């Protein structure tokens, strides 16, 4: 299965580091005020399951009613940024983002595919390399839109690599349209299919058609599995899997085909902790529901000779690999047992199983025989992150991507236990002035929580350092050492950057994830609070020099800390976050997240959702920190109304005169696919805000 370039979720804002740029100086000192636009409000009070819930800014859920408020917020934010502008911020970020990027490789036949972005390109380009020849661009989104608003979301080559299905979307909305290209000629087939967001796709061995997932028109739910014959009218495609095996509209299916084409495996994800497997014998038309009595997360790896190879957390919270005979309910064979380090990903090649584990939130790669015998550990350059682990069960090759805090992205091919470098990002960064500390601190209940702290080697722990603390804490997402360009600016200003591995993530296995779900979500917020306390206690910083940052689920984290412990930090930045946990399911596709958060329609779950819902926990007269909230009109994951309502509530209640700013972007979405120039502008505002408030 080829990399899906836009899926994940939100991911971490991690770090690259070098030296050389001097601290920037402010160009103005006095703020410039802009006219205020009072948000529309009503006296909305409801009794829900016996709980009194106030919602004064509900009119902001409607775009027409909210437009004047949105315009005024952007004007106010523009004025504040102009008043606190600092020379050199945008210019330095431009230089840093000239450092290229490199995406994971997928091999098919004698071809290898990968993505690369260089210099001032707005979007990454998909390249193909045939044999030992030079890589050449195959799909260049920059050539499709002069403003750089079109992006490549995902791609899947045929088994021989001669055809490739891929998805494009615009303005970051992730609503992909599927196209098919002839790799050698560059000519497109007539096939074009809309509503293939985050598509899962499996080609037939002869490349005459494919199974794929798509949504109904304009719907955020009811993703089903279809079959498309090349050249046929997509409107006539056969729906292969629908309500009969996807009973809930929030079910998330994916597909995998055996190398001989006989068996189609469908995985049905039900949240982030459970999935089921369903096998179709294409020769007989018979379906087998695999292991229905064994709840847990199953990640399919391959179907060989009618048997399923899968990674699972059933009876193994840190993960293991099993081989399942669907014809025998007890026909399970454990191939790779559970290890002390949690299993993050795995892949099956023709002669090996490669497993990716997390050891202290850093990658560890092991190679096993298909007979389950450990062959050894793959040496990695430094403690870092491995992603895009790719193999095919009928091909001996294995590809992976590697990066770390101070190592730009690289692509490796595994030759046994030896990684062979095949491509890397070239840069002249000098990282010698910086160091990464990995620490453990104690949360409120004594639980040890790991955290990365990055700073200059000559840092003095005198409490005076501007510090930026990042967190996410949810959906089994692990925060690992990754290379990024934007935080470098922060380090060059003498700042400290910290990344906390909070409960709710996957760094320590499924138990760590579940410790931050449902009514245990408060533990994520407590872990983040105690990360801030640790940084203060250990002399890295003090509250007036500390800021917190998070996006999406991490935006919820930031909002919860703003209302839970506003005295611990001076500034907070929440990006595309959730803030109304009483009505979050009203905005598609948020029903997908009920398995993580719980449902406000459930009388037993509403109380704890309301108790931490940032919008509902804003109190008048509190001296809240300075707050910057960002959202976008094309965000198809988290609705912009969350941000508008939370901003209005904070502005109405906050005492002390610190700014509460909101940035509403057009021609942008949740973050995936955003053009480089817009990303640079976003971080220019972020760092001007932090430098202007952490005084």
Is the Cβ–Cβ distance between 663 and 74 less than 8 Å? Answer: yes
Q: Which of 228, 278, 357, 670 is catalytic?
A: 670
552 in active site: yes
Dihedrals phi, psi of 321, to nearest 5 degrees: -120, 130
From the CA atom positions of the chain, what is the Rg in Å?
A: 25
Within 417-521, residue ranges assigned H as helices are 487-492, 510-514
Give which of 495, 491, 493, 553 is closest to 528, Cα–Cα.
553
Q: Which of 552, 616, 639, 642 is catalytic?
A: 552
| Cα 195 versus chain centre, distance | 20
**Nearest-5° Cα angle at 141, 139 to 143:** 100
Is the Cβ–Cβ distance between 534 and 558 less than 8 Å? Answer: no
| Residue 242: other Cβ atoms inside 10 A | 13
670 in active site: yes
Spatial CB neighbours of 224, under 8 Å, sequence gap ≥ 6: 213, 214, 239, 241, 242, 246, 253
Give which of 236, 461, 228, 480 is closest to 341, Cα–Cα.
480
- The tokens for 4 are 């899906």
Cα separation, 343 vs 353, whole angstroms? 13
b/e map of 35-50 (b: 16 or more CB within 10 Å)?
eeeebbbeeeeeeeee
Give which of 312, 220, 205, 173 is closest to 635, Cα–Cα.
173
Cα separation, 473 vs 484, whole angstroms? 20
- The tokens for 384 are 């870092």
Give which of 518, 529, 512 is closest to 471, Cα–Cα.
529
Measured CA to CA in angstroms, residue 550 lies from 2, 302, 500, 573, 591 at distances of 29, 36, 11, 7, 22
| Residue 273: other Cβ atoms inside 10 A | 18
- Pair type for strands 571-575 and 496-500: unpaired
| Residue that is written with structure tokens 């200059």 in the block | 456
Residues labelled catalytic: 552, 670
């Amino acid at each position: 299965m080829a990399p899906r370039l836009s899926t994940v979720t939100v991911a971490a804002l991690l770090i690259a580091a070098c030296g050389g740029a001097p601290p920037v100086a402010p160009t103005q000192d006095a703020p410039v005020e802009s006219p205020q636009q009072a948000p529309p409000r009503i006296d909305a009070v409801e009794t829900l399951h016996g709980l009194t819930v106030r919602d004064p800014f509900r009119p902001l859920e409607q775009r027409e009613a909210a437009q004047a408020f949105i315009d005024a917020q952007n004007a106010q934010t523009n004025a504040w940024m102009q008043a606190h502008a600092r020379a050199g911020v945008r210019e330095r970020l431009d230089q840093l983002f000239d450092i290229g990027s490199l995406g994971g490789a997928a091999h098919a036949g004698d071809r290898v595919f990968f993505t690369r972005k260089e210099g001032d390109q707005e979007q990454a380009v998909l390249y193909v390399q045939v044999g030992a020849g030079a890589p050449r661009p195959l799909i260049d989104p920059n050539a499709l839109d002069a403003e750089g608003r079109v992006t490549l979301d995902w791609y899947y080559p045929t088994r021989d690599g001669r055809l490739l299905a891929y998805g494009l979307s615009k303005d970051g909305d992730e609503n992909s349209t599927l196209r098919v290209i002839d790799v050698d000629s560059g000519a497109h087939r007539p096939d074009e299919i809309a509503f293939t967001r985050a598509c899962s796709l499996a080609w037939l061995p002869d490349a005459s058609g494919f199974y794929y997932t798509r949504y109904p028109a304009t719907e955020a739910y009811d993703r089903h599995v279809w079959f498309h014959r090349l050249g046929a009218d997509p409107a006539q495609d056969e729906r292969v899997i629908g309500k009969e095996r996807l009973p809930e509209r929030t079910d998330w299916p994916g597909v995998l085909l055996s190398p001989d084409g006989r068996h189609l495996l469908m995985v049905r994800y039900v949240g982030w902790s459970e999935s089921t497997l369903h096998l179709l014998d294409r020769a007989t038309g018979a379906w087998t529901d695999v292991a229905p009595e064994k709840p847990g997360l199953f990640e399919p790896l391959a179907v060989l000779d009618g048997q399923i190879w899968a990674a699972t957390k059933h009876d193994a919270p840190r993960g293991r690999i099993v081989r399942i005979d669907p014809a025998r309910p007890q026909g399970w064979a454990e191939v790779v047992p559970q290890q002390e380090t949690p299993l993050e990903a795995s892949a099956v090649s023709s002669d090996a199983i490669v497993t990716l584990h997390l050891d202290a939130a850093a990658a560890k790669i092991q190679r096993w025989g298909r007979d389950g015998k450990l062959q050894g550990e793959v040496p990695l350059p430094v403690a870092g992150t491995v992603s895009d682990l790719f193999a095919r069960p009928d091909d001996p090759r294995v590809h992976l991507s590697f990066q770390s805090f101070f190592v730009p992205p690289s692509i490796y091919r595994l030759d046994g236990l030896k990684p062979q470098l095949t491509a890397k990002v070239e840069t002249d960064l000098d990282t010698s002035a910086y160091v990464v500390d990995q620490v453990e601190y104690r949360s409120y209940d004594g639980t040890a929580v790991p955290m990365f702290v990055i700073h200059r080697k000559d840092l003095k722990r005198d409490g005076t350092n501007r510090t930026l603390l990042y967190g996410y804490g949810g959906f089994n997402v692990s925060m690992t050492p990754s290379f990024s360009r934007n935080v470098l600016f922060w380090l060059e200003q003498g700042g400290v950057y910290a990344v906390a591995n909070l409960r709710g993530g996957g760094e320590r296995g499924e138990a760590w994830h579940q410790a931050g779900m449902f009514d245990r979500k408060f533990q994520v917020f407590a872990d983040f609070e105690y990360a801030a306390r640790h940084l203060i206690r250990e002399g890295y910083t003090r509250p007036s020099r500390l800021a917190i940052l998070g996006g999406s689920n991490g935006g919820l984290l930031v909002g919860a800390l703003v209302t839970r412990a506003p005295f611990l930090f001076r500034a907070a930045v929440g990006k595309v976050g959730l803030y109304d946990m009483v009505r979050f399911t009203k905005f598609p596709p948020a029903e997908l997240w009920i398995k993580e958060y719980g449902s406000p329609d459930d009388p037993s779950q509403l109380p704890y959702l309301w108790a931490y819902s940032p919008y509902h926990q804003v109190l008048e007269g509190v001296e809240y920190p300075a707050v910057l909230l960002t959202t976008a009109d094309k965000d198809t994951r988290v609705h912009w109304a969350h941000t508008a309502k939370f901003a209005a509530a904070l502005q109405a209640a906050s005492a002390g005169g610190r700014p509460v700013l909101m940035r509403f972007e057009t021609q942008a979405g949740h973050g995936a696919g955003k053009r480089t120039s817009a990303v640079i502008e976003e971080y220019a505002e972020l760092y001007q805000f932090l430098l202007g408030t952490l005084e």
